Structure 1
Amino acid sequence: MSTPTRVAVITGASQGIGAGLVRGYRRLGYAVVANSRSIGDTDDPLVLTVAGDISEPGVGQRIIDAALQRFGCVDTVVNNAGIFIAKPFTDYTDTDYDAITGVNMRGFFELTRAAMRVLKAGGHVVNISTSLVDQTNSQVPSALASLTKGGLNAATKALAIEYAGRGIRVNAVALGVISTPMHDPSDHAALAGLHPLGRLGEIDEAVEAVLYLEQAGLVTGEILHVDGGQSAGH
């Protein structure tokens, strides 16, 4: 097996946007290390699947170690795994808090910390965020999403500056509502109303935004909104 020129690590990779990202990076010629809680094996020799709950201590490091062992390097990390629970603030439970912060924040922290130790000039980190950080909505109460994904937005800018001198870029994609298996089709019409364009986003549109950032060598510290105008207002 020939050694690929570049290697991308993608979390939440078993379905939806994550699975689309795996396909997208393979089209670019990247080898991919794909993680989710229960991801299965693949016949593609340039896709390594690593099952594990990204919120658990040590899993982030294990994913990076597996990438290095199999492919010898890591060039890109896409922190795609995320949990979204919309509830009135006082209805959130301690279990909700632990689940959301575990995946959205600890997972990001441990995987990205491990990756930053081995990324070289030209490396790239992309964090998947939400436009609800910028444009809150009383019909979608989601303070814990704002807490965690807002933190990712801030960390994106902080890391972009901290690592600019090493030639490593850090960006985020703030999504609106994307048509994925997590949304019941009966809710699609109401969810589309959150976007001024009046429709849901498609998985390929989210993937295209990440791949744009991957190839945009002068872009770092950017929060790219892919949300049908949601962040601009109503």
Structure 2
Amino acid sequence: MSMQPQKVAVITGASQGIGAGLVEGYRKAGFGVVATSRTITASDDPEVVTVQGDIADPGTAEQVVAAALDRFGRIDTLVNNAGVFIAKPFTEYTQADYDLVVGVNVTGFFHITRRVVAAMLARGSGHLVQITTSLVEHASSDVNSVLASLTKGGLQSATKALAIEYAGRGLRANAVALGVVRTPMHAPEYHEALAAMHPIGRMGEVSDVVDAVLYLENAPYVTGAVLNVDGGQGAGR
């Protein structure tokens, strides 16, 4: 029987792209991982527990937290990575678009974070990380992003509120605000145009995001921070 991992991370939106990279990064750091998404399948790594479900459904949050506590007995970190991005002119958003984006980006965050914080408070320590976008602070004429700004902006503000509310009780909360990252979400024919949107002249890589989150993981004096990992977009264009 394998030894219990020292620490445990819960990662949402974990089946591909940034989420899959985060699972790998936390495993390399010696964490046990509970990974969830709508399409995730079982892992052949005994230290990775997968939970398939829609993060907007409170039942998924219940399952994820129960799985973490049943398998590992603790939750040290939650990375709220699940997210939906729909770029449309504001007046063309539909009710279905709104429900989907708010459901995943905000409602999903609320259900799982509330339950994870309760488990963390019982142990007196924990770390919450929200994946947001630099568009929150710096809207771009290249991208129509009102729903992204509405929802991810809410997460960014909530991150600071969580950091302050729980600063005296052993919990930290931080956000990582991203530029455009090379993932399966972006078709290769758009990569050149997307790269040009960043002052650095390239898209982000999944490894850039993982490195940033793991920096925050190992930064006990950092809480309430928004770390821009966006090729300079947040500084200006």
* Distance (whole Å) between structure 1 residues aligned to residue 82 and residue 45 of structure 2: 22
* Structure 1 residue 42 displacement after superposition: 1.1
* Distance (whole Å) between structure 1 residues aligned to residue 79 and residue 116 of structure 2: 11
The 8 Å contact of residues 11 and 23 in structure 2, kept in 1 or not, is answered as yes
Residue 179 of structure 1: aligned partner: 182
The answer to whether residue 134 in structure 2 is matched with residue 131 in structure 1 is yes
SS in 2 for 1:8: strand
* Structure 1 residue 18 displacement after superposition: 0.4
* Structure-1-length-normalised TM-score: 0.98
Give runs of aligned pairs for residues 1-234 of structure 1, distance below 5 A.
Answer: 1-119=2-120, 120-234=123-237
Hey, which bits of structure 1, 4+ residues long, moved more than 6 A? Answer: none
Q: Aligned residues, how many?
A: 234
The 8 Å contact of residues 58 and 112 in structure 2, kept in 1 or not, is answered as no
Task: State the one-letter code of the partner of 2:196.
Answer: G
* Distance (whole Å) between structure 1 residues aligned to residue 235 and residue 39 of structure 2: 37
**1:105-144: CA deviations, max 9, x gaps?**
0010000000010113331000000001111112201100
SS in 2 for 1:55: coil
The 8 Å contact of residues 56 and 104 in structure 2, kept in 1 or not, is answered as yes
* Distance (whole Å) between structure 1 residues aligned to residue 215 and residue 111 of structure 2: 25
* Structure 1 residue 192 displacement after superposition: 1.1
SS in 2 for 1:3: coil
Identity %: 62
Task: State the one-letter code of the partner of 2:12.
Answer: T
Task: State the one-letter code of the partner of 1:11.
Answer: T
* Distance (whole Å) between structure 2 residues aligned to residue 221 and residue 33 of structure 1: 24
The 8 Å contact of residues 126 and 172 in structure 2, kept in 1 or not, is answered as yes
* Structure 1 residue 194 displacement after superposition: 1.5
Gap regions ≥5 residues in structure 2? none
* Distance (whole Å) between structure 2 residues aligned to residue 150 and residue 212 of structure 1: 22
* Distance (whole Å) between structure 2 residues aligned to residue 24 and residue 4 of structure 1: 14
* Structure-2-length-normalised TM-score: 0.97
Task: State the one-letter code of the partner of 1:108.
Answer: F
* Structure 1 residue 58 displacement after superposition: 2.2
SS in 2 for 1:58: helix
Gap regions ≥5 residues in structure 1? none
* Distance (whole Å) between structure 2 residues aligned to residue 216 and residue 44 of structure 1: 27
**1:86-110: CA deviations, max 9, x gaps?**
0000000000000000000001000
SS in 2 for 1:137: coil
Q: Which moved more, 1:48-57 or 1:151-160?
A: 48-57
SS in 2 for 1:169: strand
The 8 Å contact of residues 204 and 231 in structure 2, kept in 1 or not, is answered as yes
* Distance (whole Å) between structure 2 residues aligned to residue 29 and residue 56 of structure 1: 30
Task: State the one-letter code of the partner of 1:173.
Answer: V
SS in 1 for 2:57: coil
